[in-house]
Amino acid sequence: MQVIALPLKDETATIELGEDLALALKAGDCLALSGDLGAGKSTLARAFLRAMADDEALEVPSPTFTLVQSYDLRIPVSHFDLYRLADVSELDELGFDEALSDGICLVEWPENAMAALPKTRLTASFSHLGDGRQLTISGDASALARIERSLAI
């Protein structure tokens, strides 16, 4: 399958998907989270991190101003928010390559650094659907297969 399409009818569905993704992704995976302001990107990232930490109360501050927040978990996870990235070259300075070499990178606003992101990545794109959201996950085939297995679809 080249694309996984999922309706996310409410916030709980987004959280559950984040938890499933935490079981499916592994070190070296880059998951770009694409969608408008308010689409659900941070909700998914927070659920992913809490599941990976096995801690429902894990503080997940928005990296809007710091651009990246790193977590030393079962698998190290770096949560990027590139909304305020001034130049693609800044991604280097933020330690993106190192973060990806030993862990997972979650990237909000990937549009601001497309050229610098790895080609073998996953993209989760949110769009509004009624009161809920529609999500499509596309990209690296082997990672998509892992996600399919963890979703049991």
Residue ranges binding ligand ADP (CB under 6 A) = 8, 10-11, 13-14, 35, 37-43, 131-133
Paired sense of beta strands 68-71 and 132-139, if any: unpaired
Confirm if 47 and 124 have CB atoms less than 8 A apart.
Answer: no
Nearest distance, CB of residue 32 and ligand ADP, angstroms: 12
Q: Give me 104's structure tokens.
A: 């997972």
Q: End-to-end distance of the chain based on CA atoms, in angstroms?
A: 11
Nearest distance, CB of residue 84 and ligand ADP, angstroms: 14
Nearest to ligand ADP of 28, 64 (CB atom): 64
Nearest to ligand ADP of 41, 121 (CB atom): 41
Nearest to ligand ADP of 118, 132 (CB atom): 132
- What does 13 interact with, of Mg ion, ligand ADP, none (CB < 5 to 8 A by kind)? ligand ADP
Residue window 28-47: x/- pattern of binding to Mg ion, with contact defined by CB under 5 A: -------------xx-----
User: How deeply is 149 buried, as exposed, middle or buried, from its count of CB atoms within 10 A (0-12, 13-18, 19+)?
Assistant: exposed
Other C-beta atoms closer than 10 Å to the C-beta of 64 total: 14
